[in-house]
Amino acid sequence: MKILHTSDWHLGRSLYVDWLAQIIDDEKIDALLVAGDVFDTGTPGNRAQELYYRFLCRVSHSCCRHVVVIGGNHDSPSFLNAPKELLRALNVYVVGSMTDRLDDEVISILDFRSGILDLEKSAIICAVPYLRDKDVRTVEPGETIDDKNRKLEEGIRAHYAEVVKIAERKRKEVLEQSKISDQKSKIPIIAMGHLFTAGGKTVDGDGVRELYAGSLAHVGADVFPSSIDYLALGHLHVPQKVGSADNIRYSGSPIPMGYGESTQEKKILLIKFDNTTPEIQPLPIPCFQQLVRIVGSLDDIHAKLEELKKEESRAWLEIEYTGNDVIANLRDMLDEALADSSMEIRRIKNRCVMDRVISAIFEDEALDDLDAGDVFTRCLDAFEVPDEDREELTVSYNEIITSLHEEDVNDF
């Protein structure tokens, strides 16, 4: 049996699902597992929804007989679950959130096409979605952070134990009904999850956030029952094993979620089962859109841009200016430098300006203590704007703020 493990698509940013569908065809994949964060937001736009449903429809007509999707912390459970009964007709199983019936999280993928059970093409899937705080623990007055962390871990451990127990029972029933008594002939139990494990690797700017407010609870590999033959995890964007367990894996996100991931090799995981022993093969994902981060003085930035232009780059750029001189029209200068190229500037950070503004904040203040007008005044101070110019600038500033507020009210 050949299974493809992927996660953290974050549709709504960008994902070239055509490539994934082609891999499914080329590798003759039997089942696709999507371990959460299908969408980037709980209210995905029309384009993201179209990508999702077109992909599922295409895969349902391919060699891939089953697709299992679980909800992640970015997903809306109600949105994912809404079409679940309709998607079942396409052999797409969706578990958007924990349900009252834990049996709903156990999916039997059984192959009877030859008239008898084909063990090599069968599996039991424990499709455990992202477990929210309210799903796994009760809140008690006076509990400490340690109490909360302990109860979260105990709740997750208990949930997996119950779901895997149901999977073991179903496996036994299937083997008995098929009159298979050979103890060496087994159906693999494959679990899924969307969580943060202890020691998990992240990178700056990848968008991965803590799952439980006020807690840094990261579960250890020991919370998962040993009878799980392979555990397909989502949430962390870096492809990795969990501890020393070769069969507990994060596939990582298929595209960079930020410039901190721009140099990271992205992968999906192909799992082949010989009985219940998984053989795991990472498949590299091509770079569909180059991301380049440029940091330095104005001369450094221009030099790098010229280098990229000679390469005929189509990169999306994040530019951080760290020079000593104040450049008020930095954006205009950079746009002009890129006028004859296919590159796009997605973000500009002007550290010189920010450093001066922050340095103008007194010791007993924080940026959150100031309103927009205070920050504007500190900008004037930081750049030593003469008194004779301040009145006109302040009037213009107030007109802009008033105009923005009026637009917000009209939009509302």
| CATH for the 291-411 domain, from 2.70.240.10, 2.30.30.110, 3.40.50.1950, 3.30.160.720 | 3.30.160.720
Mean pLDDT value of segment 233-242? 92
Phi, psi at 271, each rounded to 5°: -115, 125
Contact 320, 349 (CB under 8 A): yes
Residue 160: what pLDDT? 96
Q: Mean pLDDT score of the chain, rounded to an integer?
A: 85
pLDDT digits (tens, 9 = 90+) for 122-150: 999 999 999 998 898 887 888 788 888 88
Just give the CATH number of 2-284: 3.60.21.10
For the chain, how far is it from start to end, CA to CA, in angstroms?
53
Dihedral of the alpha carbons of 34, 37, 43, 46, in degrees to the nearest 10: -50
pLDDT digits (tens, 9 = 90+) for 70-125: 999 999 999 999 999 999 999 999 999 998 899 999 999 988 777 788 888 899 99
Percent of the chain with pLDDT over 70: 87
**Is this prediction's pTM over 0.75?**
yes
Residue 181: what pLDDT? 66
pLDDT band per the 50, 70, 90 thresholds, residue 376: confident
Mean pLDDT value of segment 37-59? 92
Residue 409: what pLDDT? 42
In the chain, what is the greatest distance between 2 CA atoms, to the nearest angstrom? 94
Calpha distance 306→312 (Å, rounded)? 10
pLDDT at 391 exceeding the cut of 50: yes
pLDDT at 370 exceeding the cut of 80: no
The token pair that represents 238 in the structure block: 């870096």
Chain centre to alpha carbon of residue 51: 16
Q: What residue segments make up the domains of the chain, in order of their start?
A: 2-284, 291-411
pLDDT band per the 50, 70, 90 thresholds, residue 212: low
pLDDT at 13 exceeding the cut of 60: no
Mean pLDDT value of segment 391-395? 84
